[in-house]
Amino acid sequence: MDNRADAREFLMSRRARLRPADTGLPDFGGVRRVPGLRREEVALLAGVSVEYYTRLERGGLAGVSDSVLNALVRALQLDEAERAHLFDLARAAGPGSRSQRRRAGQVSASLQRLLDGMTEVPAFIRNGRLDVVAVNALGQMLYSEAYVTPGRPVNLARFCFLDPGAHRLYPDWQQAARASVAILHTEAGRDPDDERLTELIGELSTCSEEFRTLWAQYDVRLHESGDKVFRHAVVGEMRLSFDALTLPAQQGLTLTAYSAEPNTPSDANLRRLIELTHGGGERRRADRRVAAN
* pLDDT on residue 284: 43
List the chain pLDDT tens, one digit each, 293 residues: 678 888 998 999 999 999 888 888 887 666 677 778 999 999 999 999 999 999 999 989 988 999 999 999 999 999 998 998 999 899 888 765 554 445 556 788 888 999 999 999 999 999 999 999 999 999 999 999 999 988 889 999 999 999 999 999 999 999 999 999 999 999 888 888 888 999 999 999 999 999 999 999 888 887 788 999 999 999 999 999 999 998 877 778 999 999 999 999 999 999 999 999 988 544 444 443 433 33
DSSP 130-198: -BEEEE-HHHHHHTGGGGSS--SS-BHHHHHHH-THHHHH-SSHHHHHHHHHHHHHHHHHH-TT-HHHH
Instruction: Give the model's pLDDT for residue 192.
Output: 83
What is the bridge-based pairing of β-strands 123-126 and 132-135?
antiparallel
pLDDT of residue 148: 92
Domains and CATH numbers, the chain: 3-100 (1.10.260.40), 109-288 (3.30.450.180)
Query: What pLDDT does residue 93 have?
Result: 83
pLDDT score, position 242: 96
